[in-house]
Amino acid sequence: MAKAPPARAIAEPPITNRERPAEPKPYEASKDELLAFYKQMLLIRRFEEKAGQLYGLGLIGGFCHLYIGQEAVAVGLQSALDGETDSVITGYRDHGHMLAYGIDPKVIMAELTGRGSGISKGKGGSMHMFSTEHKFYGGHGIVGAQVSLGTGLAFKHKYSNDGGICMAYFGDGAANQGQVYESFNMAELWKLPIIFVIENNQYAMGTSVNRASAEDQLYRRGESFRIPGIQVDGMDVLACRGAAEEAIAWVRAGKGPVILEMKTYRYRGHSMSDPAKYRTRDEVQAVRDKSDPIDHIKKLLDEQGVTEADLKSIEQEIRKTVNEAADFAEQTPEPDVAELYTDVLVESY
């Protein structure tokens, strides 16, 4: 019998032996920070509820994807970024990320209602909002496109040595796209300063992650590119912030990209026109009951001695802000007809 060939030399240690970011710990927030997280998350929730109502009234046209249930992700992660230098890019479910970056709810709501005072002059709508002033680069309707665009932003940060990093969000569905892996390869090869955030809300339109993904542990998706991945409880704002701290430390140190898989859930349909027949009401209710991100932070505030009355007055203040945004969005005029011809690329290229 032929002799078995000698075992192949292992030239490199397996990925588990390579250096990786430190295991994240839940962020130790002060009472004031907790209150700030609570306010931001509640603002997103109430804003999105109002957007849903305005859509129902026919005041918002086109697509509208709500972020309800996922608030802890954008708030926890973006609270750790440096708004002066870092950039953010996401897909079409973008209102929450803008609010978490401190962008005025009025101009976001006015964009939803297609008004000239909207952040994209009423010409972008829900999916196409930008604020270069805040280094918020959209708002993209093409699934996965923001991953390669975000890689370009990270390239820019490195090329101009401006100290910034990019946070590029995408969904569990987008995580199966080819351009994501081309971006992973380039990002690691060139050690680009980017955090790839997979918001795993369990569904891509009506398809559950387990039905569509051969590897449904999405934090492992960078293994063939040597990109470390961390799985995070995306319903816990302190876990999100803690993970952001470690990811940012790694990326800022020039060690290349990191993947954060945020395990989260969307309560509403994929968009406003989704009848959600692919899951039961009980499934949604069970998540709301057990792991709602806002209920969680309320409990933490209670432990810090924040009273029901304090929470009520925050709630009132936020409802007022949201109502003012809605009034503004209903009352300001639509863009001038001449605006049809502005901001359009007409040159040949």
Ligand X SMILES: Cc1ncc(C[n+]2csc(CCOP(=O)(O)OP(=O)(O)O)c2C)c(N)n1
Applying CB under 5 A, which residues contact Mg ion?
A: 171-172, 201, 204
Which residues are 52's β-sheet partners?
Answer: none
| Binder of residue 93, out of ligand X, Mg ion, none (CB less than 5 to 8 A by kind) | ligand X
d(CA 292, CA 285): 10
User: Residue 270 interacts with ligand X (CB under 6 A)?
Assistant: yes
User: Residue 142 interacts with ligand X (CB under 6 A)?
Assistant: yes
For 249, which DSSP code?
Answer: H
Instruction: Locate all alpha helices (DSSP H) within the chain, ordered by sequence.
Output: 31-56, 71-78, 95-100, 105-112, 145-159, 178-189, 209-212, 237-252, 281-291, 293-303, 308-331
Closest CB to ligand X among residues 142, 306? 142
User: Residue 64 interacts with ligand X (CB under 6 A)?
Assistant: no
| Binder of residue 174, out of ligand X, Mg ion, none (CB less than 5 to 8 A by kind) | ligand X
Piece of 34-42, 71-79, 159-167, 199-207 that binds ligand X (CB under 6 A):
199-207
d(CA 13, CA 140): 39
User: How many binding residues for ligand X (CB under 6 A)?
Assistant: 13
User: Residue 139 interacts with ligand X (CB under 6 A)?
Assistant: no
Strand 166-171 versus strand 87-89 pairing type: parallel
Considering only residues 66 through 95, tell me which ones interact with ligand X, judged by CB under 6 A.
93
Contacts (Cβ under 8 Å, ≥6 apart) of 181: 225
User: Residue 205 interacts with ligand X (CB under 6 A)?
Assistant: yes
Retrieve residue 113's tokens.
């209602």
Q: Which of 204, 230, 240, 318 touches ligand X by CB under 6 A?
A: 204
Closest CB to ligand X among residues 203, 219? 203
For 221, which DSSP code?
Answer: G
Cβ 271 to Mg ion shortest distance, Å:
12
Return residues touching ligand X (CB under 6 A).
93, 141-143, 171-174, 201, 203-205, 270
